[in-house]
Structure 1
Amino acid sequence: MNTADPDKVIAAARSWLGTPYHDQASLKGVGCDCLGLARGVWRDVVGPEPFPIPPYSRDWGETGPREVLAEGARRMMPEIAPADAGPGALVLFRMTSRAIAKHVGILTGPGSFLHAYERLGVIEEPLTPSWRRRIAFAFLFPQR
């Protein structure tokens, strides 16, 4: 599967900067959560979303036998090793050690990423060691 140009992914993601946080939304400039940001970038870079997203909980400490978010991403995006993820990659974060991966970001440089964060909206910030060690999965956007 051919993958999208990382510069296009990053430009699409940055076009969401300043969008307010809104749980389970995906409207640029109006509101989105972290998954809504990824869905919007998908629409900008790849095209229509391939399937509807079912409702989901906001609980970052959620545990369980299935990595639902990673399984969904695997259905439509090539998976890569987190250590190989570079600018333009979609990364899934495990916010607590025994929880499933529930937070999504897009790498924008070797030391930065963009995500939607409660109370702050869509922001770009440094990929600090504490963020980097939480990356559990990484994927590439496919070409349109």
Structure 2
Amino acid sequence: MRRADFLEIARAWEGTPYHDQARLRGVGADCIGFVVGAMQEATGRHIAAPMTYGRYAVPAVALQLIADSGEADEIKVADASPGDLLYMAIRRNPQHFALLLPEGWMIHCSEPAGVRVVPYAGWMRERTRHAFRLRFLED
């Protein structure tokens, strides 16, 4: 799938309300639920990701979730392109997922705002600890 097509799917989630451990466009999602839901919508297949996890993800668990899914490869944060998955620290450790958009923007789901497009700048950029390239995306 082309990156632009995937990002169009991700942007269709904008306005979805925040709901812990949900992943249904227009109904509710959390940060990983939004990403997994958009990936499932894009690929038409189930993405291996648990439905039960703590409110504040343990970094090792989240990184293992990505590795186990077989859907992404870690890349350098500096090499991230639109459509790549970002994993950032909100508190001390990484615990928040977002998708990079073109021209300095990202899309993510947070409480209480839900899924929205925001600038990828300031503390969001500074606290990005990992980036992943989704295997189903073509340049």
Q: Give the TM-score category using the shorter length.
A: 0.7 to 0.9
TM-score (norm 2): 0.88
Percent identity (aligned): 32
Aligned residues: 135
The 8 Å contact of residues 26 and 36 in structure 1, kept in 2 or not, is answered as yes
TM-score (norm 1): 0.85
CA–CA distance in 1 between the matches of 2:87 and 2:21? 16
- Runs of 5+ unmatched residues, structure 2: none
C-alpha change, 1:50 and 1:116, in structure 2 (3 Å) is: closer
Q: Aligned ranges for residues 1-144 of structure 1 at < 5 Å?
A: 4-59=1-56, 67-75=60-68, 76=70, 77-97=72-92, 99=93, 101-143=94-136
Deviation at 1:129, TM superposition (A): 2.2
The 8 Å contact of residues 49 and 65 in structure 2, kept in 1 or not, is answered as no
C-alpha change, 1:36 and 1:55, in structure 2 (3 Å) is: same
Structure 1 residue runs of 4 or more that deviate by more than 3 Å after TM superposition = none
Which one has the bigger helix percentage?
Answer: 2
C-alpha change, 1:50 and 1:121, in structure 2 (3 Å) is: closer
Which one has the bigger strand percentage?
Answer: 2
- Runs of 5+ unmatched residues, structure 1: none
Matching residue's letter, 2:29: C
CA–CA distance in 1 between the matches of 2:89 and 2:123? 11
CA–CA distance in 2 between the matches of 1:123 and 1:44? 18
